[in-house]
Structure 1
Amino acid sequence: MARKSNTVRIREALENAIVNGRFAPGMRIDPEALAREFECSRTPIRDALQQLEASGLVRIHSKQGTFVTEWSVEELAERFEAMAELEATCARLAARRITEEELADLELRHETCRHLAEEERFDDYYSENSAFHACIYRATHNAFIEQEAKRLHSMLQPYRRIQLQVRNRVKRSFHEHDAVVAAIRNGDDQAADKAMRDHVLVQGDRFHDLLAALRMDALQRKESAS
């Protein structure tokens, strides 16, 4: 197996740090501190950050530095709306094109999510939830749509993680998965489309819950830093 380059290793570590909340939306990332942490030169750090900027996870400002991407309320709403439409398309295509092997993998991920939700292992649930959605992207058998879905999913990962911290959201998320899996299993593309759109679209009370969770997350980070 080929050894990962420093750039890939650092990029993956930073992706995880952003998703896990170590680097929260709006936080400045210090390249010199990263070079010390990873015991490397600034070059792979710079390359990794440029790759993260291309994925939408960070923004690089030439005179101010690098920051974890933080969306305004309007930008966040627009991106969740786009994500809902794209994932609905993925579910609709998956209902028509999924293979038996892919369906077995999807149902295995779904069962794992069930156990994690019951045990309230929220961080593990988030990781498995991402794998669940990736199964559906693959089952579209459309490489371009799969790539775009992964890109937007990655861009919204920090916010989707925070969303799962809302009270009872993990259990509701799992039950929404249930409807998606049933529709895909039955080959009902319209039901799969609707179930996935309803699952991903964040609006009304759910959007206000997300904003409240974001404010609470920011407050906790401020308190821990003081």
Structure 2
Amino acid sequence: MLFMDRKRSDIIADDIEGLIFDGTFADGARLDEVQLAERFSVSRTPVREALQRLALSGLVDQIPRRGVFVRQPGPVELIEMFEVMAELEAVCARLAASRISDDALARLESTNARCAEAVSANDTDSYYHQNELFHALIYEQAGNGFLQQEALRLQRRLRPFRRMQLRARGRLKQSMAEHQAVVHALKDGDAAGAADVMRSHVAVQGEKFHHLLGLLKTGGRGNAGGGAPSTP
């Protein structure tokens, strides 16, 4: 894996996400810290941190005195969140087109280069983590602290679902091409173009949404046929 500098709790959180999506932990299942610690051969501390991260994304509910339970959002809730995410990121890109610094553009291109390395290695996990940095940098360069925090909050909420989409056949290369289009629009100062490309990059509607639901039902084992939608 290209992205090596990761906390143990983050790795465990990713593994638990996978177990939820492949049906090992069903919707409503209780996640026991002791059993998970034994499963991953760690103390309860990184497991507790992993569950806290998953709670931020909304994939689990932490209920006082009862425990932690798997919570899969329904189709309507999921598509509503992606609609809002697409609009938030479009605004970020539009503002960043006129406000991004030369230094930030250089950092954005460097992050995108690491995304390209991950695509070449077909490493979806490394790509996703660099992808998060790519998007977060654009939030920052929008120059609006409130907007940045709202975008980061929803990014955390949708993390497991955005990561899941990368497993569909052809998604990494298509996402990479869209990243390049975003960078070009920002370099050109094309506010409307940057917003349009980013909105399309993030939006999950119609056929794209059916692909995502199919991945969730099959545990992210890939696209059985046809083209793949864009990857946020």
Smaller-chain TM-score bracket: 0.7 to 0.9
- Structure 2 Cα separation of the partners of residues 204 and 114 of structure 1: 28
Q: Tell me which residue corresponds to 2:133.
A: 131
Shift of residue 24 of structure 1? 2.4
Shift of residue 148 of structure 1? 1.4
Are the aligned partners of 2:30 and 2:67 in contact in 1 as well (CA < 8 Å)?
yes
Greater shift, 66-75 or 155-164, is seen at: 66-75
- Structure 1 Cα separation of the partners of residues 220 and 134 of structure 2: 28
- Structure 1 Cα separation of the partners of residues 111 and 100 of structure 2: 15
| C-alpha spacing 1:215/1:57, structure 2 compared with 1 (3 Å) | closer
Match of 1:153 among 152, 155, 168: 155
- Structure 1 Cα separation of the partners of residues 104 and 95 of structure 2: 13
Greater shift, 170-179 or 140-149, is seen at: 140-149
Secondary structure of the 1:217 match is coil
Q: Give the letter aligned to residue 43 of structure 2.
A: E
| C-alpha spacing 1:156/1:19, structure 2 compared with 1 (3 Å) | farther
- Structure 2 Cα separation of the partners of residues 218 and 205 of structure 1: 16
Shift of residue 55 of structure 1? 5.3
Q: Tell me which residue corresponds to 2:197.
A: 195
Are the aligned partners of 1:17 and 1:23 in contact in 2 as well (CA < 8 Å)?
no
Match of 1:24 among 20, 25, 47: 20
| C-alpha spacing 1:46/1:168, structure 2 compared with 1 (3 Å) | closer
| C-alpha spacing 1:81/1:15, structure 2 compared with 1 (3 Å) | farther
Q: Relative to total residues, which structure has the larger helix share, 1 or 2?
A: 1
Shift of residue 62 of structure 1? 4.8
Q: Give the letter aligned to residue 39 of structure 1.
A: S
Shift of residue 158 of structure 1? 0.9
Are the aligned partners of 2:115 and 2:127 in contact in 1 as well (CA < 8 Å)?
yes
Are the aligned partners of 1:134 and 1:150 in contact in 2 as well (CA < 8 Å)?
yes
Q: Are 1:53 and 2:55 counterparts?
A: yes
Shift of residue 134 of structure 1? 1.3
Instruction: State the aligned residue count.
Output: 207
| C-alpha spacing 1:127/1:193, structure 2 compared with 1 (3 Å) | same
Q: Give the letter aligned to residue 18 of structure 1.
A: A
- Structure 2 Cα separation of the partners of residues 163 and 55 of structure 1: 16
Kindly report the root-mean-square deviation, in angstroms, between the aligned alpha carbons of the 2 structures: 2.7
Q: Give the letter aligned to residue 76 of structure 1.
A: L
TM-score (norm 1): 0.79
Identity among equivalent positions (%) equals 43
Match of 2:215 among 200, 213, 216: 213
Q: Tell me which residue corresponds to 1:39.
A: 43
TM-score (norm 2): 0.77
Shift of residue 54 of structure 1? 5.0
Secondary structure of the 1:66 match is strand
- Structure 1 Cα separation of the partners of residues 83 and 153 of structure 2: 15
Are the aligned partners of 1:18 and 1:68 in contact in 2 as well (CA < 8 Å)?
no
- Which stretches in structure 1 are left out of the alignment for 5+ residues? 1-11, 221-226
- Structure 2 Cα separation of the partners of residues 45 and 170 of structure 1: 29
Q: Tell me which residue corresponds to 2:175.
A: 173
Shift of residue 152 of structure 1? 0.9
What CA deviation, in whole Å up to 9, does each residue of 1:21-56 have, x standing for no partner?
345253532123356655358xx9768756753553
Shift of residue 129 of structure 1? 1.0
- Structure 1 Cα separation of the partners of residues 136 and 124 of structure 2: 18
| C-alpha spacing 1:184/1:157, structure 2 compared with 1 (3 Å) | same
